[in-house]
Chain A
Amino acid sequence: MKILVCISCVPDTTTKINFTADQKEFDTQGVQYIINPNDEFGLTRAIRLQQSHGAHVTVVTVGEVSCEQILRKCLAIGADAAVRIDAHPNDGYFVAKQLEAICIKQPFDLIITGRESIDYNGGMVGGMLATLMQLPYVTQCVGLEINGDQALMQREIDGGNEHSKANLPVVIGAQKGLVEEKDLIIPNMRGIMQARQKPLLVEAPLTIEAKSQIEFYEKPKPRGPVTLFDPSDVDGLLNALQNQAKVL
């Protein structure tokens, strides 16, 4: 079985988000990059399938050379091979088309993306890729078992879970629950050493027009100070919620 895990390099979850003075760009100064957490849940599931089913796991990202450290980390976690498509990820459609090209060149049985990236929160690459390739797609995926040539999946829906099955190949959008936080693999020294020997291919991008562009950014408006009440004064709090905020 061949698995492709699509990785997005995103600012660490604790990053304070700032934009450049002209508001045109995200200010990357001092920002640490990580594997997008949703993608990491997917990668971990893929490594488990590598161990249980002998699957071959390839990771791919669309990004500049600075993303290679993230791909090396994926290799240290246990992926067998990495591909970097050498382009700035202009928008979700652009990224989906680049990934489609990789999947056409080299067929996969299972394609894993994250539910969404935690930077642009688009949540679109998996759905677009599946639709372009006419493959079944399950996002917010919190359960995945492989049984022969069939995938058994669970999708978290508002207030419940939907179970489904489909013949491989399938595309899933991973999130927490597919594996638990405690299952995430921290690379050990052996993994890090092995990662240096594993292939990291750089591919030229297809020429694709993006379908959207960001004109400028804004930060949320600063909020007023908190209004505090004494622990004995829950009446004061309830009164404020009823008559001032009007939410009760």
Chain B
Amino acid sequence: MAVVIFIETQNGKASKTGLELLSYGRSIAEATSASLIAVIFSDSDTQELTDHGADVIYTVDTATDSNFNLERYSATLSEICALEKATIVVVSSSSEGRYLGPSLAVKTGATYLSNAVALPTTYNPLTVKQSCFTNKGFAISESMSSCTVLSLSSNAFGIHPQPGRGEVKTYPYASTKSKLEVTKVEHAQESISIADADIVVSGGRGLKGPEHWHLIEDLASTLGAATACSKPVSDLGWRPHSEHVGQTGKPVASNLYIAIGISGAIQHLAGINASKVKVVINNDPEAPFFKAADYGIVGDAFEVVPRLIEKLKALKKA
């Protein structure tokens, strides 16, 4: 029996979500007396993976192919799953994880269950709680196959380091000829992505125009946060749609979500509901967001936000 984890990398190192998957996988491995197998498509430092729970680490050398490649990654992983007789495979809910999961499930004949928010409640058969209706509900689902691919909602489990055996092996990169050729990868300059951020600062129409976005950007840079926006703001073209969070935009599951000048339409609230702590700053006391937030200030963003930035800078210096 084995639990196989796909470790995503960032600049060749295991990503934060990768370490969270290991913590999640470690708990499953303990509960089912299985080995925890980590697969990383990089020759990076494996000690960190051992410290976070991996019993066996497969490093796959992708040589010149530095981009995520769906066909070759899923082919390699499905071979490792067969070799290790995997019963549970865990991927993240990032762009890569959710791209990979369905394909891997078909290749291994497994069931795919997305957006798991907790450990499985039973293992034979496997049942697990998933978020659905964009966080407006949860489904408790049963897998009807002997192997299940789970995607874990980001920030749903947390990182709890607990060492594993840490046996390192290498595995060859599948030579599958890819039908898709990646021609160019563009990365936004020096910005923190919404998916990775611990804190997200988000602006709405209450900011009155794109020329006031320095307030959002300054607050975000003071906090080391990612910037986001509401749907009307991206529809008006004030901000790129890659920043739009909500039901039809990106989901947010940060530790802290700060909404400035966002009234809190039901579609927006659904998209950010998985965030742990929500703060709202809005001059309308009737804004629905106040019913969904933990902390709030009824006030003018143009006064409150500069004050907040100033106090945070003072706090940082202290």
Q: Pick the interface stretch among A50-58, A187-195, A213-221.
A: A213-221
Asked whether any CB of chain A lies closer than 8 Å to the CB of B135, the reply is yes
Residues of chain B contacted by A226 (CB below 8 angstroms): 280, 290-291, 293-296
B137/A217 in contact, CB under 8 A:
yes
Residues of chain A contacted by B266 (CB below 8 angstroms): 13-14, 16
- A-B CB contacts (within 8 Å), total count: 254
Within 8 A of B (CB), among A18-61: 19, 26, 37-38
Spell out A's residues near B (CB within 8 Å).
11, 13-14, 16-17, 19, 26, 37-38, 92-93, 96, 118-128, 130-132, 134-140, 142, 155-167, 170, 175-177, 180-182, 209-220, 223-224, 226-231, 233-235, 237-238, 240-241, 245, 247-248
- Give which listed residue, A158, A175, A219, contacts B137 with CB less than 8 A: A219
A212→B183 CA distance, assembly (Å)? 37
Residues of chain B contacted by A182 (CB below 8 angstroms): 235
Q: Give B92-136 as 1s and 0s: 1 = Cβ < 8 Å from A's Cβ atoms.
A: 001110110111011100111111000000000001010111111
- 10 A-B residue pairs with CB within 8 Å: A13-B248, A93-B106, A127-B99, A139-B98, A158-B196, A161-B185, A211-B110, A226-B290, A227-B295, A245-B295
Q: Pick the interface stretch among B46-54, B164-172, B201-209, B271-279.
A: B271-279
Residues of chain B contacted by A247 (CB below 8 angstroms): 198-199, 255-256, 276-277
Ranked nearest first, the 4 interchain pairs of A and B with the lowest CB-CB distance are A231-B299, A127-B102, A159-B193, A124-B102
B94/A241 in contact, CB under 8 A:
no
Given A93-B111, A119-B132, A181-B235; 9 other pairs, CB 8 A cutoff: A37-B248, A120-B139, A128-B102, A139-B99, A157-B96, A162-B68, A211-B144, A224-B294, A231-B298
Q: Pick the interface stretch among B25-33, B82-90, B306-314.
A: B306-314
Residues of chain B contacted by A126 (CB below 8 angstroms): 102
A119/B298 in contact, CB under 8 A:
no
Known pairs A118-B247, A220-B137; A212 contacts B74 (CB<8 A): no
B106/A121 in contact, CB under 8 A:
no
Interface residues on B, range: 35 or more
A156/B280 in contact, CB under 8 A:
no
A230/B297 in contact, CB under 8 A:
yes
Q: Pick the interface stretch among B55-63, B174-182, B210-218.
A: B174-182
A241/B295 in contact, CB under 8 A:
yes
A210→B144 CA distance, assembly (Å)? 8
A165→B182 CA distance, assembly (Å)? 7
B295/A237 in contact, CB under 8 A:
yes
A131→B178 CA distance, assembly (Å)? 12
B132/A121 in contact, CB under 8 A:
yes
> Closest CB-CB distance, A11 to chain B, in whole Å?
8
B248/A38 in contact, CB under 8 A:
yes
A234/B102 in contact, CB under 8 A:
no
Residues of chain B contacted by A167 (CB below 8 angstroms): 179
> Closest CB-CB distance, A173 to chain B, in whole Å?
9
- Give which listed residue, A26, A131, A138, A215, contacts B107 with CB less than 8 A: A131
Residues of chain B contacted by A134 (CB below 8 angstroms): 179
Residue of B nearest to A242 (CB): B315
Residue of A nearest to B257 (CB): A247
A123/B94 in contact, CB under 8 A:
no
A85→B248 CA distance, assembly (Å)? 26
- Give which listed residue, B95, B292, B293, contacts A157 with CB less than 8 A: B95
- Give which listed residue, B112, B241, B248, B249, contacts A93 with CB less than 8 A: B112
> Closest CB-CB distance, B174 to chain A, in whole Å?
14
A216→B127 CA distance, assembly (Å)? 11
Residues of chain A contacted by B183 (CB below 8 angstroms): 163-165
By CB atoms of chain B within 10 A, which of A159, A162, A245 has the most?
A159
- Give which listed residue, B74, B187, B300, contacts A231 with CB less than 8 A: B300
Residue of A nearest to B191 (CB): A159
